[in-house]
Amino acid sequence: MKREEMTKKINEELNHIPRVKGWPDQNMLREYYNSMRRHDLGQNPALPAKDTLIKAIDAMRKDKPDFKPIYDREFFKLL
């Protein structure tokens, strides 16, 4: 996958993980997702977005076990 294709795809997915002013943990989730998704798409362009989101949430919860992320459950098919 070309870099610009990857960036476009990730930006579209990030529209479903909202940025929340004054909540650095939610915004850190977006950063984790962005970084992990770039890596994942580089390895396997067919990997579902939900797999990367689960990894990003798990990474956040290592330091903040009570973290309650906000994301579009329907989009990521995590109902």
For residue 1, the model assigns a pLDDT of 80
Note down the domain range covering 39.
3-76
Query: Which residues fall within 8 angstroms of residue 1, CB to CB, at 6 or more apart?
Result: 9, 41, 42, 45
pTM for this model (two decimals): 0.94
The tally of domains found in the chain comes to 1
For residue 32, the model assigns a pLDDT of 98
In order along its 79 residues, the chain shows pLDDT tens digits of: 889 999 999 999 999 999 999 999 999 999 999 999 999 999 999 999 999 999 999 999 999 999 999 999 999 998 7
For residue 50, the model assigns a pLDDT of 98
Q: Determine if residue 69 is left, alpha or beta; phi over 0 gives left, psi from -120 to 50 gives alpha, anything else beta.
A: beta
Q: Determine if residue 17 is left, alpha or beta; phi over 0 gives left, psi from -120 to 50 gives alpha, anything else beta.
A: beta
